[in-house]
Amino acid sequence: MKPYLFTSLLMVISIATANAQYNKANLKLEPATAAKKYAYGNLQVYPVRANAAFKEQHKHVGKYVTLKDGLQKNKAKITERDGGEVNTLYIENISSDTIMVLSGEVVQGGKQDRVIAQDFLLYPKTKKDISVFCVEPGRWQPQKVGGDGMTFTSYSSYSTNEVRKAAIVEKDQQKVWDKVAETTSKNDATTSTGTLTALKNSGSFTTGLKKYTDYFKSFFASEPDVIGMVVVSGDAILGCDMFATHEMFMAHYPDLVNAYATQAITTGKPVTVSYGNVQHYLDTLITDERKQESEVKKKGSLLKEGDKKLHFSTF
């Protein structure tokens, strides 16, 4: 082979490898027989496993602080904008870390609790406006317990997948409220303000949720090839979450399980969806990388840094 042809071939291979991230060559769904242990109640989790090439491509992806840790460790501050706007909040990173914020995360406080409706990285010592939706329709006044009433003092995990979808894909405030009301009423968590965060005060719900979270919490920590999961209940695929690294996945895994389990408790049924349908669902996301970004955005959200896809959710 002529030297220049060999060099060109190497360049093509190099480019293909650099671009080959979330694809069928690098990712595989857990086999049906092995996935049986990842099932409890109305919920079935199918791990998505990455090969050595995928892990090699992402080994230099940066370390990020979750929003949960950012708020709890006073690295981030979320407040109402001056005067208050239902669909916009203000976030500031007051630390030297980069904070990863994901759509579907719920924050509590301010004039009403909100669900975040966009994915983004917040770099050290930066600030920005963020898109949100209300998950507490009966309140529009500051809560001054332990703060100034304009600050969001608590992180409240992820919303259910149906709330996430209504906010992120459909971008419809009324549908968000409808799904919040359905979730709270079915779980005996109805309050005067109708907030989604009242779920944590429902004894029957928290008892049921603990059974799910206790069952799933021990999985994947020692399985470094797991970078995501497809989750099903009844005859429906609830969604898929995948991350650039195992560590990133595990940082969000407990709260994602909380969200999926909440959905399973609220509207779920014994699992009947076929393995073939789950495989097909994943294939639609990873078969053609040229269409992947647009396909994901139709169904959920995507977070990138440069050419690296850090996370995507589909519902």
Phi, psi of 53 (to 5 degrees): -65, -45
Alpha helices in 20-97 (DSSP H): 32-35, 52-57, 67-72
Do 253 and 222 form a contact (C-beta atoms < 8 A)?
no
- Tokens encoding 236: 């429906």
How many CB atoms within 10 Å of residue 288?
12
> What's the first-to-final CA gap in the chain, in angstroms?
49
Q: Is 197 helix (H, G, I), strand (E, B) or coil?
A: helix
pLDDT of residue 191: 96
Max CA distance (Å), the chain: 77
Region 211-217 average pLDDT:
97
Question: Residue 7's pLDDT band (boundaries 50, 70, 90)?
Answer: very low
Q: Where are the domains of the chain?
A: 22-60+202-315, 62-199
Over residues 17-34, the pLDDT tens digits come to 445 589 999 999 999 999
∠ CA 73-218-210, nearest 5°, is 75
Over residues 88-113, the pLDDT tens digits come to 999 999 999 999 999 999 999 999 99
Over residues 243-261, the pLDDT tens digits come to 999 999 999 999 999 999 9
- Measured distance CA(284)–CA(298) in Å, rounded: 12
Do 158 and 258 form a contact (C-beta atoms < 8 A)?
yes
- Measured distance CA(66)–CA(56) in Å, rounded: 23
- Torsion over CA: 260, 67, 224, 303 (sign): positive
- State the chain's mean pLDDT as an integer: 92
Over residues 112-131, the pLDDT tens digits come to 999 999 999 999 999 999 99
pTM: 0.91
